[in-house]
Structure 1
């Protein structure tokens, strides 16, 4: 089983015990405002999400990790890698993603977890490049991409909802520099 430890976090595969806390995170309108159309997700939808995330591990050899605080064992959210379903020019890319409960914001957990995932992607999984999509007004996620060393590459629009997205990217050469 794939796990990553950082000084404060355990990034691991999903368990049945993660469903309720992840559904609570997905049910928070403030957490979800930058995701898709901003709608919250209920317990059943979250169960389907976790199932899909686990299937991506089986299909791709990477996926979204449940992020657990080492000190307390609490589920803080997720971070990991996925193949984006949009836009067409990014279908062959791999994206780093994160989503954390509001009570875990502003403590560096997302940056710490995403940094570990980026290293995993580029050194363990042999990927040459990783991207991230961020809405221009999502300054917290913009800050995380900057901390990861990702550069703004281009702008696009969400194909279903039409809002602007900025594509950030880093390749192995940039990462190792």
Structure 2
């Protein structure tokens, strides 16, 4: 099923054909540069299963992203419910988090920003969600740039509890956007 269409993208359900591409993407050290490690095959498979289940159960989630011109799967963008979980206990939880990840060959073309705006419009029109959060390593300037472009404001900084002390990715920044009725998003 197709949920969101933008000028160049379709955000949709996950397909079996997405699995090998997603696994490969998650094993790319460049794609995972701002995460502590790459993702094992079974964890990538479970991610897809969980993302699709959220879409089916909630009507939103982390959607597979496809280029309209080529039909190629290029990554994901969407929102998820982020809750406290054991050691992952932060002041802004529970919340709705927006996130994205794209194959390296599709970087620097505005796809992540375009998809994120599409998701925010979809959430604004189809849910009663009023705030959306995002967080990333303070070093992750590409994602922070996207957060700013889609209208998010920095609201907090924290040390990620699941990243070891002294690690260069430990310090994280939190951004938030309020979805007000009639708000217009720009690219």
* 1:77-101 deviation line (CA, Å, top 9, x unaligned): 0000012244432332100000001
Match of 1:6 in 2: 6
Match of 1:76 in 2: 74
* 1:114-147 deviation line (CA, Å, top 9, x unaligned): 1101111222222100000021111111110111
Superposition deviation, residue 175 in structure 1:
7.6
Q: Does 1:30 align with 2:30?
A: yes
Match of 1:40 among 38, 41, 57: 38
* 1:149-175 deviation line (CA, Å, top 9, x unaligned): 000001112111051111100112398
Taking the TM superposition and a 5 Å limit, the aligned residue runs for 1:78-157 are 78-85=76-83, 86-157=88-159
TM-score by length of 1: 0.91
Unaligned runs of 5+ in 1: none
Contact 1:149–1:175 (CA<8 Å) still a contact in 2? no
Contact 1:19–1:43 (CA<8 Å) still a contact in 2? no
Contact 1:84–1:91 (CA<8 Å) still a contact in 2? yes
Query: Which structure is higher in helix share?
Result: 1
Change in Cα spacing, 1:28 to 1:174, as seen in structure 2 (3 Å) is farther
State the Cα RMSD in Å: 1.8
Q: Does 1:165 align with 2:176?
A: no
TM-score by length of 2: 0.87
Match of 2:167 in 1: none
Superposition deviation, residue 54 in structure 1:
1.5
Unaligned runs of 5+ in 2: 165-169
CA distance in 2, matches of 1:29, 1:175: 40
